[in-house]
Amino acid sequence: MSLVEALLPPSQTRRAALILLAALATLAAVWILQGFGYEPCDLCLSERYAFYAAAPLAALTGLLASRSMHGLARAGFALIALIFLANAAFAFYHVGVEQHWWPGPTACTGALSAPVDVKDLMKALETSRVVRCDEASLTILGLSLAGWDVVASAALAIYAALAARLR
């Protein structure tokens, strides 16, 4: 078996299984990091939705392919590709917020739009901890987790698009 056949097997069922494994491995990695104390920001948590949606969709796509419903399986791959393409764009937005290329949501970047009473602010600070979206709290090989999400989501989008085109 060649590397190309291993990465892009002729079976739609196996292609769906690879996407399912990639989505679950990504989720496991971020959950493990969270278990070790890395706290995700609101944007990080939102970026996980694509993986939550793609995992069962990949399982369904594999099931459809195993039952010789290849047209529906190709539609499943196309939908997975769109999900990951949208997530790659969203993760790129997050990278831009981290790099201060553009402003992020005020809920996690520290921007205040109205005067705040100091007593209310102190009380809020005592009871809650906001993880900032505009600061990369973890980088791996020079990329923040949002940057790695751009890479992973784009790769999965391309892979799913190729899987949709193959018979």
The per-residue pLDDT of the chain, averaged, comes to 89
CATH number (domain holding residue 39): 1.20.1550
Render pLDDT for 63-92 as a digit per residue (tens, 0 to 9). Answer: 999 999 999 999 999 999 999 999 999 999
Provide the domain count of the chain: 1
Render pLDDT for 13-58 as a digit per residue (tens, 0 to 9). Answer: 999 999 999 999 999 999 999 999 989 999 999 999 999 999 999 9
Q: Where are the alpha helices (DSSP H) in 36-127?
A: 42-47, 49-66, 70-98, 106-109, 118-127
pTM assigned to the model: 0.85
Burial class, 129, CB count within 10 angstroms (exposed 0-12 / middle 13-18 / buried 19+): exposed
- Residues of the domain holding 86: 3-165
Beta-sheet pairing, 143-144 with 139-140:
antiparallel
State what percent of residues in the chain have pLDDT above 70: 87
